[in-house]
Structure 1
């Protein structure tokens, strides 16, 4: 595979757990000041790591606040759980945050997986396949509602789909996504990209239209070049509270700047 022609972008997943909101807000601003391209949160109701009942904040309320407290970075959820909101409502929320942020929202979405969120908040957990079917139904409804809203979004809001399911998720990426976000080492990413290419061919989509994004760990000099060869252009570092260490983010930003020239 040839290297991606898309410039490298660096994201921060600012996990809204185990921290006061003032700290979360100041960290989002610090990431922007360091030069991050995107600041993501996530769509859960409880921490995923550490004390399972520790401090935690809701995703989309926070994105509306970030739209006002930041000015340059793109913002979004990595990723929104499709199960938690009616698709038409989610489209309207996305359009609203798009306007508040002057066109900086990425609409990240996935089928959902964290059972505690579902049981504690009264959503039906069902099965993984059923949740993916629900996502497949929701995506056209979101697209339809976005086309009807007045005022319209400021731009074509980029849709990011997260997940690596080879039969259903990657086919949804081929049909609906502007960005695919995955996880894993280079070998895993290579396999998933190959399957995504085939799905794009099957549905008549130009694979080159889809931005490839990964959640990354490790030293950028060690893991970045091989992922870059596979077409990855967005690399996202995750950090959790209470003290958000942006050291890894700084390393990835420096690597981006050296690579992008």
Structure 2
């Protein structure tokens, strides 16, 4: 079990909603006590009407950095194929300053073909996108180390995905947070692989916070008592609830926050 306290995040999925509703939902999540708010990096809705309302990740994050005051903010996750890596680092640094040091930088290789082709980016193969991610991470880190001013806070690097040969190796080499999209049994296995990669690169796996999306994992996703303890036992400390527009029901988020408070007490 992780010695880290439980944290609860909201993945606020900016689909089918007006921006005013997105901003109001972020404010409500912060008032409820959420530790973090994430925005997904897609250009089109993933559910409902394919051409429905949708907003871009980083401009929403910049706006929420002004309208919130306590929650951490970041993309879950930002696709390196959509933006020059040096520019992406600068954007993250800027959001970090706007928020007063509350930004996190989530990176991934992308998977939704429509996002790529709809905006004129080459989709490529899974392997090509992973190689692009591997090449982008050092550029992002180098640019962050040379920006003036430097990031205002720690700006932790989150990497999402469970590819055992490449992605988890990148997590071992670079990440402050590993985000999983898996059930508990799969997370257990992936962690064993991650620990082997950490041993190979000489890194203590305890340095890496384990995060997972809890929405969609089980029929009882709305009741953290059904899955929270098992995930906690595996070392998960950041639990992320998803909510999509147009109305953004935060009932599940409330239940996970209540569970967090009881667990951390």
TM-score by length of 2: 0.97
Q: Is residue 260 of structure 1 aligned with residue 235 of structure 2?
A: no
2:115 to 102, 117, 124: 117
Deviation digits for residues 91-134 of structure 1, max 9, x if unmatched? 10011100000000010110011100111100000011110001
Gaps of 5+ in 1: none
Correspondence 1:242-261 to 2 at 5 A: 242-261=246-265
Partner of 2:91: 93
Partner of 1:59: 57
Q: Is residue 209 of structure 1 aligned with residue 207 of structure 2?
A: yes
Alpha-carbon distance in structure 2 between the residues aligned to 1:120 and 1:184: 28
1:19 to 14, 17, 20: 17
Q: How many residues align?
A: 259
1:148 to 146, 149, 174: 146
Q: Is residue 73 of structure 1 aligned with residue 67 of structure 2?
A: no
2:230 to 226, 231, 238: 226
Alpha-carbon distance in structure 2 between the residues aligned to 1:12 and 1:50: 20
- 8 Å CA contact retained: 2:213, 2:240: yes
Gaps of 5+ in 2: 216-220
The RMSD of aligned alpha carbons is 0.6
TM-score by length of 1: 0.98
Alpha-carbon distance in structure 2 between the residues aligned to 1:156 and 1:57: 27
Partner of 2:171: 173
Moved over 6 A (4+): none
Alpha-carbon distance in structure 1 between the residues aligned to 2:206 and 2:22: 35
Correspondence 1:119-138 to 2 at 5 A: 119-138=117-136
